[in-house]
Amino acid sequence: MVVGRFDAWGGNNDINFVILPSHEMSNFQNQNTYTHFYNSGYIHEANIKRALPPGDYFLILNNRSALLTRKTVNAFFELR
C-alpha cells in the first residue's frame, strides 16, 4: 500500500500524479496508452491511500502539459 500526499505551487498550482507498474514506464515516456493504478489528473493537492499488488512501480509527478512553467511540489509517500 502506498500512503501519502502532495501539493503543487506555480503556474496553475497543479501537477499530475501517476502510479504505474514498471513495465508501463516506456509507454508513459513515449506518451502511448498505459495502464496505471492511480492517475490524479492535474490537481493542486491530494491525499493518496492505494493498495497495490506485489511488484515494482513508478510514482511520477508529471508536469508535461506545462513544460515552460516551474512548479514547487511538496510530496510525502510511505510504502506499507
How many angstroms separate the CA atoms of 52 and 13, rounded? Answer: 28
> Do the beta carbons of residue 59 and residue 3 sit within 8 Å?
no
Domain range enclosing 12: 2-79
Q: Where are the beta strands (DSSP E) in 1-80?
A: 2-9, 15-21, 38-43, 45-50, 57-62, 72-79
Over its length of 80 residues, how does the chain's per-residue pLDDT go in tens digits?
999 999 999 989 999 999 999 999 999 999 999 999 999 999 999 999 999 999 999 999 999 888 788 889 999 999 98
Q: Which pLDDT score, from 0 to 100, does residue 66 have?
A: 81
* Number of domains forming the structure of the chain: 1
DSSP 25: H
Q: Which pLDDT score, from 0 to 100, does residue 70 have?
A: 83
How many angstroms separate the CA atoms of 52 and 75, rounded? Answer: 19
Q: What is the pTM of this model?
A: 0.89
